[in-house]
Amino acid sequence: MRKSIAIDMDGVIADTEPHLIEWYKNETGISLTPQLINELGEDAAFADKIALHKVLHTQSFFRTVPVMDKAVENVTLLMEDYEIFIVSAAMEFPLSLYEKREWLQEHFPFISWKNIIFCGDKSIIDTDYMIDDYCKNLDFCKGKALMFNAYHNAHINHHIRINHWDEVPKLLKTLTYSTENIL
């Protein structure tokens, strides 16, 4: 039986950070950088909560997010050895449901609709590995938690960090090999 991987969308296969920074600037005129957000903290950096809410609830925001560098190639590669599930806590942003499904059809058409999970709470996900950028999801992961690097998790170090998609296949092979040798 193949091992399974839950892969988050926003900030993991969808390059949300620069997209959000650009849309926030268009809405507020405030220029942010990942470094500044890292220094201030996400909550302080995106100080105009009304503008942030508006951006995240604007039609086409989620549909137009760019794909994370090398995500398509590496997810395709992982599918040779693992059962892949795309998991997004999309319920917070109801407009995003349709947009995320359309985005996946465009950029990851090889992922079956049966392997796409839109939920409100990822603690229900029971896979061997979870790749996510938020500890609120990873801390309750039933399998091995793998944290994709983001400005909001730069100071967190209690999960294995992934800085780029090119690291993922080798890391998973190492983790799988280590686990199999322990048993």
Active site residues: 8, 10
Sign of CA dihedral 94, 147, 55, 14: negative
- Residue 111: C-alpha distances to residues 52, 78, 116, 144, 154 (Å): 30, 12, 8, 22, 30
CB-based contact 165:74 (threshold 8 Å): yes
Contacts of residue 117, defined as CB under 8 A and 6 or more positions apart, other chains included, come to 6, 85, 86, 87, 88, 125
Report long-range pairs for 150-154 (Cβ below 8 Å, ≥24 apart). 150/11, 150/17, 151/17, 151/34, 151/35, 151/37, 151/38, 151/42, 152/37, 152/41, 152/42, 154/38
